[in-house]
Chains A and B, each alone.
Chain A
Amino acid sequence: MVMHDTAQSPLAEQAQSNEAAENVEPTAVKMRARDVSVFYGDKQAINGVDIDVYQEFVTAFIGPSGCGKSTFLRALNRMNDTIPSAKVTGTIELDGEDIYSSGMDVVQLRARVGMVFQKPNPFPKSIYENIAYGPKIHGLAEGKGELDAIVEKSLRRAGLWDEVKDRLQDSGTALSGGQQQRLCIARAIAVDPEVILMDEPCSALDPIATAKIEELIDDLRGNYAIVIVTHSMQQAARVSQRTAFFHLGNLVEYGHTSDIFTNPTQQRTQDYITGRYG
């Protein structure tokens, strides 16, 4: 199996450089999914997935296009509810509470489980209003002073403050693609979520903007549970501590990122990370 000797590949090196972080034992399970299946009408997109998302960890979902990784991500904050034909079975818990139970307020859930999308989608409002949107609708700030503070804090955490502090009233859509995506991350942070879901956040960005977002994800890790869907295995290796490999709606393998990239237990994972398909 010389061909598959991944220990020498740069991918594996990246994964190993991260090992110190991932060998820390997780302190708590933030979200727990058990036997989760998602259907679009008659079509099954996700089949019986079990996964634990840990507090203060970055979990990456990788897999070929159409494998269901984004669908599963959207099940974690019930964004699939916006698609009339979508149906979710199984249980997903946030801090031990079933998010699909009838008592769960989906509005509160999404405030706790924020989301960043594939294509930057700032609202056609000012930079300030983009960030202030969430705190306003959730009543997190009393008075202008507090709101200003939240806006500044969120922009600082997203590493955008220095670039935009002099033009907070400019439209959010006037920023560059990478800045827009960091604005969206700042917007998600502003409501003080516990989990941040990122759906291929860098796929529309150039390499420099991508590097900034990855750096940001690493900085944010200490405060949130982050789940990132990515097409780029390098990205998964660089930013995550846990990696889940999805294929055809099944969770094939889930474990330490370095294990997935250097020592996968499943042949399908091996084939995917060595570029046999995908």
Chain B
Amino acid sequence: MSPVLPLLLAIGLGLAGWLVARARAWTFKRAAPHGRIAALPSYHAWYAALWIVVPLVIWFLVWNGIQGQLVLNYVLASPEAQALPEFGLRRDAMLIEARNIANGIDAQVMNDGAYALAEPFRQAQSRYGLIGLAVSVIIGGAGAAWAFLRLTPDFAARTKVERLVLGALLLASLVAILTTFGILVTLVYETILFFGKVSPIDFLFGLQWNPDPMSSGAVDGDRYGAIPLFWGTLFIGAIIAMIVAIPLGMMSAIYLTQYAHPKLRAWVKPALEVLAGVPTVVYGYFAALTIAPFIRDLAVSMGASNASSESALAAGLVMGVMIIPFVSSMADDSIAAVPQAMRDGSLAMGATTNETIRRVLVPAALPGIVGGVMLAISRAIGETMIVVMAASTAANLSANPLESMTTVTVQIVALLTGEGSFDHPATLAAFALGFVLFMVTLALNFIALRVVKRFREAYE
């Protein structure tokens, strides 16, 4: 059953219900004293239409999910299915071909046995198609009957529709939450598989990262020490990038909120926010093609012999620039949220603007600023494109920013786009890395949001 037809059916029934309910409500309205009924006729109409369409759509979704399996079970139970080969791939291919023949799809048929199976497929599909249609009609009719029985002049259709709208909105927001949850489940599952092959101790505390996606046989846990990756991520994302982003972001926020003329602010602030909209790939080019060679040449001219063209410094600097708008926009909001009375109070004491900012405004806005910085860090350590393009894949445990380093995200990309098979520990390691990254950014976001919330409460 194609999904278009049932949807059209549901919409058609809904429309009919809508029109009928509205007509009925109008008869109530005409008969009522002063023409007043509990809800406008259109609310009655929407009430009826929603009671028809919503259960039907839910039913179609459910039926679509189970119908295929029901058909397959029917076919497998048929005598023709006894001829199917045991070998999984071939068996599946034959079943798919048989279904295509049954549906009249003109696809290539490699297995002659498929023709014999087409007939049971046809039977099963018409049988379950009929069942599905019958249930649809029953559900649609039941919904319509339920709605129409309740339509009276006193019926508060308005509040009922309101509640249905509420339900729809709730459902929409649940999608995002459930997706997060689904991601977590997938990650945890693959991570557990990985930890079945490599011990978590080796992974979390090992100092050597050198997985071999082509290896076979016994897994060498020593190759999966992720400390160099965590260090690289921290060094590039949370140290170098923040050394750039925190001072520049703070200073631009202070300038914009306290010194800039409103006209200038109206122009500079959006310009700064454009930085946040630049695709990270573009920052990646910039880091790899402009900044990295420049830093290498500079380092070589200053006598550093081992300067790499894929230095941690290049990736970190560009990432810091990328993060500036996050820091500055949060700091800007926080400073602007400190009541004017604080500023006036300090200025009236004879403090200069600078003293007022340093001693009153920034301390008062500090929780908001800290929250912004934490969100920025979480963003930086999860950042992929800049480091993929500008940092290397060599896992170095070093504090020299001129050396090449790698990050968790770079390794995830490298492992998942590599040639290892999907159940190889080297591939599974990507999930374990992703899981650790997810946990760290989740914790950072959580703490940051708490801090920002406490800050907001202090001034409202």
Contact = CB atoms under 8 A, between A and B. Distances in A.
Nearest to A173: B458
A129 to B, nearest CB: 9
B289 interface: no
Interface of B: 261-262, 339, 341-352, 355, 359-360, 363-364, 458
Contact of B346 (A112, A114, A123, A138): A123
Given A137-B349, A137-B351, A191-B350, 12 more contacts: A108-B350, A114-B348, A117-B344, A117-B348, A121-B339, A121-B345, A122-B345, A123-B345, A125-B363, A133-B349, A133-B351, A133-B360
Contact of A84 (B262, B341, B355, B363): B262
B284 to A, nearest CB: 42
Specify the main secondary structure of chain A where it touches its partner. Answer: helix
A77 B346 CA distance: 13
A138 B341 CA distance: 21
A107 interface: yes
Interface size band for A: 20 to 34
Contacts of B344: 79, 82, 117, 121
A110 interface: yes
Contact of B347 (A79, A108, A112, A191): A79
A111 interface: yes
Contacts of B347: 79, 82, 110
A124 interface: yes
A107 B345 contact: no
Contacts of B458: 124
A34 B341 CA distance: 29
A115 B348 contact: yes
B72 to A, nearest CB: 67
Contacts of B350: 107-112, 134, 137-138, 191
Contacts of A229: none
Contacts of B339: 121
23 contacts: A77-B348, A82-B347, A84-B261, A107-B352, A108-B350, A109-B350, A110-B350, A111-B349, A111-B350, A117-B348, A119-B341, A121-B339, A121-B344, A124-B363, A125-B363, A133-B349, A133-B359, A134-B350, A137-B349, A184-B345, A188-B348, A191-B349, A191-B350
A110 B348 contact: yes
Nearest to A111: B350
Contact of B351 (A77, A107, A117): A107
A238 interface: no
Contacts of B346: 123, 133
A187 B344 CA distance: 13
A107 B344 CA distance: 13
